[in-house]
C-alpha cells in the first residue's frame, strides 16, 4: 500500500475545509431545508388525556360546577427559556410543552383557565376567568343553529331549505350545498344584552352565494332575531 504524501493530505483537508465554509455561506436550499413537516397539533389521545386531567381536577370543578363543561383546548406552546437553551445547544433536553385550556359551564356562565404540562399531563395552574375570555365552540354554534331552525322568522327568511343547513368549520374545504356559519360578536352598549351575553350571528351560504339573511342569536337568553338589511348610512357618500 502506497503511503499518502503529506501535500495530498493537506490538499484533501483544504478541499474539505473550503467545502465546509462554502456550506456555511451557501447553506442548504430552502426546498431542502423546509422539506420536513411534523404535525404540531395535539393528537386525539392527547386531547382525551387533557380532558380527563381537567375534569378530574377538584379546583376546576369548584369553579365551574359538577356538570360536564365545555372544554376548549389551545394548541401547545413550548417553554421559551427551555427552547432557547435547546436551540443554543446548551441542553439536550427538549423544551417542555404547555397547553392552555378554557373550561366553561354555559348554564352557570362560570369559566376556568387551566394550564397543563403536556409532557406530564399534569395541571400546573387553575384560575377563574371571565366568560369574556372563553371562545365560542362548535357546541355553541350548533346550539345557535338549533335555536335558529326553531324560529319562525328565520324559517320565513331562509325558506324551506332551512333544515338542510349544516355547520361548516372554518378552514374546511368541504363544498356542502347548505352551509351555516357562526360569527361571534360583542356589544359595547350596556343596554344591549350582547354586552354581557354570549351572542352569535348566523349566516347562510348556498351554492349561489350567501342568502340575504342574518340570524342574531343570544345564547344566554336563548332568543333569535332576524336582522333587517342595513343600507348606506345617512351622511355618507353614495
Partner 1 sequence: MNGIRSLRNCILAIAFGLASASIAGGQVPHTTAVSLDRFFLYCPNAIMQNFPTIGPAQTTWLICWREVAGNNSIANPNGLVIGPVYFRKSPGGPFFRVLWDMRVSDYFVPYHPGNPRFYDLSYFNFKLTSVSAADCPACQGGGPSSPHVCKEVHDRGLMWKDSGGVRRGEELVLWGAIDAYNYRYIQEYTFRDDGVVMGRMGATGQNLPRSELVTHVHNALWRIDIDLDGVTNSVSRLQHLEDPNNIAGTATDTATPLATAQGMVWGARTHDALEVTNPVFKNAQSHSSGYRLMPMVTGGGLTQHYEPFTHNEFWVTPYNPGQFAAKNLPTYVAPNPSVANTDIVLWYKGSLHHQPRDEDGAYNAFGNWIGTAHVMWTGFMLMPHDLFDCSPFYKPCP
Residue 46 binds partner 1, judged by CB under 8 A: no
Question: By CB under 8 A, how many residues form the interface with partner 1?
Answer: 92
The interface mask with partner 1, positions 178-207, x = CB under 8 A, is: ---xxxxxxxxx--x-x------x-xxx--
For partner 1, which residue of 41, 93, 174, 190 counts as binding (CB under 8 A)? Answer: 41
Residue 20 binds partner 1, judged by CB under 8 A: yes
The interface mask with partner 1, positions 92-111, x = CB under 8 A, is: ---x--x-xxx---------
Nearer to partner 1, 66 or 207 (CB): 207
SS3 for the chain is CCCCCHHHHHHHHHHHHHHHHHHHHCCCCHHHHCCCCCCCCCCHHHHHHHHHHHHCCHHHHHHHCCCCCEEEECCCEECHHHHHHHHHCCCCCCCCEEEEEEEEECCCCEEEEEEEECCCCEEEEEEEECHHHCCCCHHHHHHHHHHHHCCHHHHHHHCHHHHHCEECCCCCCCCCCCEEEEEEECCCCCCCHHHCCCEEEEEEEECCEEEEEEEEEECCCCEEEECCCCCCCCCCCC
Distance CA 79, CA 94 (A): 10
Residue 48 binds partner 1, judged by CB under 8 A: no
Given the rule CB under 8 A, which of 18-26, 53-61, 144-152, 217-225 is the region that contacts partner 1? Answer: 18-26
Given the rule CB under 8 A, which of 13-21, 48-56, 61-69, 146-154 is the region that contacts partner 1? Answer: 13-21
For partner 1, which residue of 72, 118, 121, 176 counts as binding (CB under 8 A)? Answer: 72
The CB-of-219 to partner 1 minimum distance in angstroms stands at 12
For partner 1, which residue of 7, 30, 152, 190 counts as binding (CB under 8 A)? Answer: 30
Residue 139 binds partner 1, judged by CB under 8 A: no
Amino acid at each position: 500500500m502506497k503511503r499518502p504524501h503529506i501535500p495530498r493530505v493537506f490538499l484533501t483537508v483544504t478541499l474539505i475545509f473550503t467545502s465546509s465554509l462554502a456550506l456555511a455561506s451557501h447553506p442548504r436550499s430552502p426546498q431542502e431545508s423546509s422539506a420536513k413537516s411534523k404535525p404540531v397539533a395535539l393528537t386525539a389521545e392527547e386531547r382525551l388525556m387533557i380532558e380527563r386531567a381537567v375534569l378530574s381536577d377538584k379546583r376546576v370543578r369548584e369553579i365551574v360546577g359538577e356538570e360536564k363543561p365545555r372544554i376548549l383546548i389551545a394548541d401547545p406552546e413550548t417553554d421559551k427559556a427551555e427552547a432557547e437553551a435547546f436551540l443554543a445547544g446548551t441542553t439536550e433536553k427538549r423544551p417542555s410543552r404547555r397547553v392552555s385550556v378554557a373550561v366553561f359551564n354555559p348554564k352557570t356562565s362560570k369559566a376556568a383557565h387551566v394550564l397543563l404540562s403536556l409532557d406530564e399531563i399534569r395541571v400546573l395552574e387553575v384560575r377563574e376567568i371571565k366568560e369574556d375570555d372563553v371562545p365560542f365552540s362548535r357546541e355553541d354554534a350548533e346550539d345557535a343553529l338549533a335555536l335558529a331552525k326553531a324560529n319562525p322568522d328565520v324559517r320565513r327568511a331562509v325558506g324551506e331549505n332551512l333544515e338542510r343547513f349544516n355547520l361548516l368549520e372554518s378552514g374546511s374545504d368541504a363544498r356542502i350545498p347548505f352551509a351555516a356559519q357562526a360569527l361571534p360578536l360583542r356589544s359595547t352598549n350596556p343596554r344591549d344584552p350582547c354586552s354581557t351575553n354570549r351572542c352569535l350571528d348566523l349566516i347562510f351560504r348556498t351554492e349561489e352565494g350567501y342568502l340575504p339573511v342574518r340570524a342574531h342569536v343570544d345564547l344566554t337568553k336563548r332568543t333569535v332575531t332576524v336582522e333587517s338589511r342595513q343600507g348606506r348610512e345617512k351622511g355618507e357618500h353614495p
